Amino acid sequence: MQEKKINITWYGTASVRITAGSSQILIDPFFPFPDSRIKVAEDAYNNCRNILVSHGHFDHISSIGKIAGADTAVYCTKAPYRTLLKKGVGKENLRLIHVGSVFSVGDFSITAYKGKHIRLNAIDCLKAAFSRRVLQNRKGIIKKLVKITSFLERKETLCYLVEVYGKRILILGSLSLAADTAYPKEVDLAFFPYQGSDRLCEIAKSIYARLRPKAVLLTHFDDTFPPFSSEIDTSEIEDYLKKRAAVYKLRHGGSIEI
């Protein structure tokens, strides 16, 4: 009997589609800012009626209003639930979940774990807000700042364990883990969102040591919301992981099968 395969497509930022047979889920679908060199086709997220939200920051949920159709289900915690309502997403589309929620989407079994957002301290935020790149790209900057700051995380970041066809996929909502949570170890694939600190490689190494996944997919390392995002050099963490596990760094719109 032929082994069933799972297809995983990365679109940019933390946006990923997982397909298993006729079952599909989208994680944090996001369209880049118009002035980003990263482009995602308008129909890229079509035909997927189930969206998992890891947390409520703008680059994880601000595009959902454009994507959600009448029959789309959006699974999220209280903070993104409230934000999405304010942004015009219908209550009938939203499914309120919490840490410990277990639910099914088609052939997928999904468990929500307590996550943790990578630490964004005040000094780093100020440096980013007044960086040379920001100052050199001042056009429309106030509008962008207002948009960004209207989407709040509220310490509600989740990790998801997605199980299908005998495989386990662990989706980190940010490059951090809660100290008091026992996460699944040695999963078949873990998503590492590689953005948000000047200590990314050190942090990723510690997460790998704690989880020991068989493979890692790097996400969120790209520059999709300039001038506040940046293109991250992943070569150091790739070299580290390649000695210990399979590591995937996809082009935008690229896919892998597991």
Q: How far apart are CA 198 and CA 232, in angstroms?
A: 10
> How much is the average pLDDT of 23-43?
96
Q: What is the predicted pLDDT for the residue at 211?
A: 98
Q: What is the predicted pLDDT for the residue at 228?
A: 84
Judged by phi (left if over 0) then psi (alpha if -120 to 50, else beta), residue 166 lies in: left
Q: All domains of the chain, ordered by start, with CATH?
A: 7-257 (3.60.15.10)
pLDDT in tens, 48-72: 999 999 999 999 999 999 999 999 9
pLDDT in tens, 142-185: 788 888 899 999 999 999 999 999 999 999 999 999 999 999 99
Whether the pLDDT of residue 16 is over 60: the answer is: yes
End-to-end CA distance of the chain: 16
Global confidence as pTM:
0.93
> How much is the average pLDDT of 122-133?
57
Q: What is the predicted pLDDT for the residue at 137?
A: 59
> How much is the average pLDDT of 198-224?
97
Q: How far apart are CA 83 and CA 86, in angstroms?
A: 5
Q: How far apart are CA 230 and CA 42, in angstroms?
A: 23
Q: 201 CB contacts (<8 Å, ≥6 apart)? A: 236, 237, 240
Whether the pLDDT of residue 122 is over 70: the answer is: no
Q: What is the predicted pLDDT for the residue at 243?
A: 98
Rounded percentage of the chain residues whose pLDDT exceeds 90: 84
150, two tokens: 């209207």
Q: What is the predicted pLDDT for the residue at 128?
A: 60
Q: What is the predicted pLDDT for the residue at 144?
A: 82
Q: What is the predicted pLDDT for the residue at 183?
A: 98
Instruction: Enter the DSSP assignment of 117.
Output: P
Burial pattern 30-62, b for ≥16 Cβ within 10 A else e, equals bbbbeebebebeeebbeebbbbbbbbbbbbbbb
Per the prediction, the chain carries an average pLDDT of: 93
